[in-house]
Amino acid sequence: MLVSPVLTTSTAFGAFSVYRGVPAELTSGNAESFLQHLDGPTAFVLDGGLEKTRLVSCLVHGNEPSGLKAVARAFKGNPYSHHANMIYFVGNVRAAKAGLQPFSHRLLDNMGLSGPARDMNRIWAGHVPGGAQALVDSLLGVVHQFSMEACLDLHNTSGANPHFAVTLPDCIGSELIAGQLAPRVMKLSLESGLIGAMNMYCPSLVLECGKMGMKSADQIALRSLTHFLNDSLSLESRDITRYQVSAEVYIKKGLTMDFLGDTLEENHLSLSPQLEDLNFSALGQAVRIGRIDGDGSNGLPFVLSDHQAARQYFDWDDYGYIWLRPGYTLAMATLHQDNIRNSCLFYVLESQEANFGVPWSAA
Ligand SMILES: [Zn+2]
């Protein structure tokens, strides 16, 4: 056990603890040992008496370890900043510790929560069950004591993606900081995410560091955290590609699916095994993304957020092949069935620039 926290609150995600400074047990640099010392969501307040304060969060999704690895490394070295007081928030510790292997659960089902509130990144707009709201109120209670300058929320994707930042639309301050950390910025109206709440206090962004488990993603998280600690976060504009989310795409209930790309069975969707390669790819022409039984006229396999028409983004030919229309690309497409069930299948993006920016390869 660590030295006593200055504050403990019971929440649906376990006891939320707040520490002042860094307990000595957490300075080994090893993320798994760091995790074993924690019991629930935890905040560390490093108050250097400075005017501004920055917040770094990680592990809001328990299976996205790159952020925690970077924080563990910072705690071994120097987790303070010359520019600002620091608050570190380690989110869904219980999910991260569950199972035989750490970092294998995005969220847990058995928290007395149902629906989206189980996901720690879907609770921050309020009106959630009491045990989840207790975490929102407690963390924001800590944040509220400081004059906030910026918030960086570190995540991984379950499929292969280049690293990219996510900000709320129409937030130029967040976009300028995002541009210092990633060459691609995706605008997403995720008010129920942690950055939705933090944006009330300061420019806030998610950094999707790349696919979970990949060394390159861990390196990007560490490099970005180091920059976030040591840089003055000057608001000069950088050369970035901006994407707006046109649609959030889910698979219709009752369909089975595979990633063979070419199977034909009733009520079955067969998606391309190369789906992840389409993430942020430059797409000047229609691209085949899978196949369903029939020509799509008897019901489309996708459900879109906000009641948009799937036909706007997808086309079906007589053989049942599904095409993504030209001018659109994908983000966060994954072959990971659990994540598809717990989140969406992928996002459809439109670039706000004339071209699609720097090509990249998932290889
Ligand atoms: Zn995440």
Q: Residue 168, Cβ neighbours under 10 Å: how many?
A: 21
| Rounded distance from Cα 156 to ligand 1 centre (Å) | 6
Sign of CA dihedral 235, 201, 186, 106: positive
Q: How far apart are CA 328 and CA 245, in angstroms?
A: 10
Q: Find the 163 Cα to ligand 1 centroid distance in Å.
A: 13
Span from the CA of 266 to the centroid of ligand 1 (angstroms): 33
Q: What is the pLDDT of residue 242?
A: 92
Q: Are 55 and 87 in contact (CB under 8 A)?
A: yes
User: Distance, CA 331 to ligand 1 centroid (Å)?
Assistant: 13
Q: Distance from the CA of 262 to the center of ligand 1, in angstroms?
A: 30
Low-confidence ranges of the chain (pLDDT < 50): 355-363
In 3D space, the residue among 343, 80, 84 whose CA is nearest the CA of residue 208 turns out to be 343
Span 71-87, pLDDT tens digits: 999 999 999 999 999 99
Q: What is the pLDDT of residue 356?
A: 46
CATH class, 7-239 region: alpha beta
Instruction: Give me the residues near ligand 1 (ion), CB cutoff below 5 Å.
Output: 61, 64, 155
Where do the CATH 3.40.630.10 domains begin and end in the chain?
Answer: 7-239
What is d(CA 294, CA 103) in angstroms, rounded to the nearest whole number? 40
Q: Output Rg (C-alpha) for the chain, integer angstroms.
A: 21
Rounded distance from Cα 60 to ligand 1 centre (Å): 7
CA nearest 351: which of 288, 285, 289, 280?
A: 280
- Measured in Å, residue 297 CA sits from the centre of ligand 1 at 35
Rounded-to-integer distance, Cα 92 and Cα 158, Å: 17
117-141, pLDDT tens digit by residue? 899 999 999 899 999 999 999 999 9
**Residue 206 C-alpha to ligand 1 middle, in angstroms?**
9
Ligand 1 centroid – CA 153 distance (Å): 9
Among 79, 100, 75, 84, smallest CA distance to 2 is for 75
pLDDT at 298: 56
**Distance between CA atoms of 251 and 339, rounded to whole angstroms?**
12
- pLDDT for 252 equals 86
The model carries a pTM of 0.91
